[in-house]
Structure 1
Amino acid sequence: MVSTASEAEERAVESALRPKNLDDFVGQARVRQQLSLVLEASRIRERTADHVLLSGPPGLGKTTLAMIIAAEMNAPLRISSGPAIQHAGDLAAILSSLTEGEILFLDEIHRMSRPAEEMLYIAMEDFRVDIVVGKGAGATAIPLDLPPFTLVGATTRAGLLPGPLRDRFGFTGHLEFYAVEELELVLRRSAMLLDLKVSSAGFAEIAGRSRGTPRIANRLLRRVRDWALVHKIDEIDSSAAAAALDMYEVDERGLDRLDRSVLTALITKFGGGPVGLSTLAIAVGEETETVETVAEPYLVREGLLGRTPRGRIATAAAWQHLGLAVPDHLAAGQAGDLLAELLEPDTDFADN
């Protein structure tokens, strides 16, 4: 038996840590400035705001910005997701129940079904939907007018959005990963709301292990809070934060157990690669989708892992991070030749 009380508490805490307006939102200065202008112009014109598309990796604040847009426009917020809308009728039911000026937030909008996307085109542009009644030759389309609304779409893979849908958004904002300094500001605000005493060095320690993502930073802060509570520590400094995060297997570069398992297997079992994705996944006991979508993006961004047509390779930085001697073929001056060789097409290699 597993109690849901702790999960409900975590969700409540996470919700409380979300900023409620653009002034409290830390980071993403360019997107915040542009979005503020769009919303202010809409208020001056006394019209609903243009449709907004927010893209970027998970955990950077897309859902939070949608909530802020609703708060700034003083409008109700309706939340749904692309995977939940698999039929045009599902979308028609949501759209027909919207009120004037309401904000409709669709998370992972790129995962909507094609019929629903085609219905959304007309709804976004003309504020109407055509509901088909009957089948075959006797089917008729009944037009249904919709009140003006604002659609806020969020996606982690903007390239999967069809062009006609993407072009109907009046404003598109791409969220970037946060710098360590910006994450420290996020953590300071969260610590104040959680009534935690954390030193500047403690904030820096947690921020440096947060992978440039506010959601991860806040989660690590809560875990450090738990560790400090159990060990009866009043003020969290860098050593306390490091000890807590080490216990949770988050190292100084933000790598967790899965990340290190991938690098360790790649280096110790396959000599640093190249090795195919499915073979690497089997070696660490995970699904290929888990390795590709969870571990790889951060390892590649940190320069610890490379992707080539022949498979995955470990960089010199990966060997150094694991405390291993860098092979001669990865030494300075030879890495470029190796990479050029690995990038040559290999039609026989299919396991990548």
Structure 2
Amino acid sequence: MTQYEEGVVSAEASDDERVIESALRPRTLDELIGQNRVRDQLGLVLEAAMSRGKPPDHVLLSGPPGLGKTTLAMIIANELATPLRITSGPAIQHAGDLAAILSSLSEGEVLFLDEIHRMSRPAEEMLYMAMEDFRVDVVVGKGPGATAIPLEIPPFTLVGATTRSGLLPGPLRDRFGFTAHLDYYETSELQQIVHRSAKLLDVPVTDDGAHEIGARSRGTARIANRLLRRVRDFAQVRSDGIVREDTARAALALFEVDELGLDRLDRAVLDALCKRFGGGPVGLGTLAVAVGEERETVEEVAEPFLVRCGYLQRTPRGRMATPAAWKHLGLAVPVDAAYAPSLFDVED
């Protein structure tokens, strides 16, 4: 992890931050703010399963980080009143690792497998049979003398989470009975999330203060909660402890988060594109050197939000700034700044 990835508007969370987040997570579907379509669909699936007295279908949750996939897994277990077992794809490198977890599950238990797309192939193949037949074959020995011992496991519900659903093989995706994609939050929803978190943290916040934080949160609940904590610190040290609009603006200016949620790296990328390279096109490696960051940081941290805002285009010829990027920096838009893709140009 680079130093930047720990920044205030990163959608990823450190281990310490996950501990803090646990106190702010909603416990039931009724407490969940936003994601209305997913909430309604999931509520129907869970209610129907409970009425039948059987575990619900396996659930696959996809979407960018910080939108609530882990929270939904915890809500599912809470709504079903069953234990929750948490693990992740990178932690399961061998089929034996998965077999040990599955064999220790109790009936109806919810297994949350985060970053499921990063699971090893042998474990993935074992998971197919476990999800479908609630059975795994444990191989004892090697070579011609190896023996497969069938091991029955109690019915359970797998909740898989991924930020890159395209990396999941088709056979694995097909075994999930319910698939949901989490979308970015609207500013009004983030405002409600800020109000709820502020109440739990015992932080007085006004409507305009919550709106200011929500508007700069890049559509991500995790970032909204993180910005609230930073603004709370500012309000306690340099103000009267109440999070108002002017207090939020001053605090977020100190942490270099502008009115659209762009931070230092985002503005550095746009500044390099517009001022040093005339709007592009410029290669990713060259752009990363220009802003003093690793190319992976620029590509995975800065670019997704800049593309979503319409400030940057990824083209076969390189990265290019849009007219909106020039305007955001307060620069005049050159005549040839707007990139018009040709018939043969596609995004990389």
Q: Pick the TM interval, shorter chain.
A: over 0.9
* Equivalent pair of 2:208/2:244 in contact (CA under 8 Å): yes
Give CA deviations for 1:38-76 in whole Å, capped at 9, x if unaligned: 100111000011100000000000000000000000000
Structure 2: where are the runs of 5+ without partners?
Answer: 1-13
Measure the CA separation in 2 of the matches of 1:193 and 1:205: 19
* Equivalent pair of 1:309/1:344 in contact (CA under 8 Å): no
> Aligned AA for 1:168?
R
| Residue 106 (str. 1) matches residue 113 (str. 2) | yes
The residue number in structure 2 matching 1:349 is: none
Measure the CA separation in 1 of the matches of 2:286 and 2:236: 42
Measure the CA separation in 2 of the matches of 1:248 and 1:59: 20
Aligned length: 334
1:141 positional shift: 0.2
1:163 positional shift: 0.3
Q: 1:166 aligns with which of 159, 173, 181?
A: 173
The residue number in structure 1 matching 2:53 is: 46
Task: Give the 3-state SS of the residue equivalent to 1:198 in structure 2.
Answer: coil
Measure the CA separation in 2 of the matches of 1:264 and 1:93: 52
Percent sequence identity is 70
Q: 2:238 aligns with which of 222, 231, 244?
A: 231
The residue number in structure 2 matching 1:93 is: 100
Measure the CA separation in 2 of the matches of 1:260 and 1:40: 47
1:278 positional shift: 1.1
Task: Give the 3-state SS of the residue equivalent to 1:104 in structure 2.
Answer: strand
TM norm structure 2: 0.93
Measure the CA separation in 1 of the matches of 2:252 and 2:102: 45
The residue number in structure 2 matching 1:212 is: 219
1:12 positional shift: 3.7
Measure the CA separation in 2 of the matches of 1:156 and 1:96: 27
Q: 1:245 aligns with which of 234, 252, 269?
A: 252
* Equivalent pair of 2:239/2:247 in contact (CA under 8 Å): no
1:9 positional shift: 6.8
TM norm structure 1: 0.92
| Residue 339 (str. 1) matches residue 317 (str. 2) | no
Segments of 4+ in structure 1 off by > 2 A?
A: 7-13, 343-346
1:344 positional shift: 4.3
Measure the CA separation in 2 of the matches of 1:145 and 1:166: 23
Question: Higher RCO, 1 or 2 (CA under 8 Å, sep at least 6)?
Answer: 2
Measure the CA separation in 1 of the matches of 2:207 and 2:250: 16
The residue number in structure 2 matching 1:69 is: 76
1:8 positional shift: 7.8
> Aligned AA for 2:340?
L
* Equivalent pair of 1:51/1:171 in contact (CA under 8 Å): yes
> Aligned AA for 1:205?
E
Task: Give the 3-state SS of the residue equivalent to 2:150 in structure 1.
Answer: strand
* Equivalent pair of 1:76/1:102 in contact (CA under 8 Å): yes
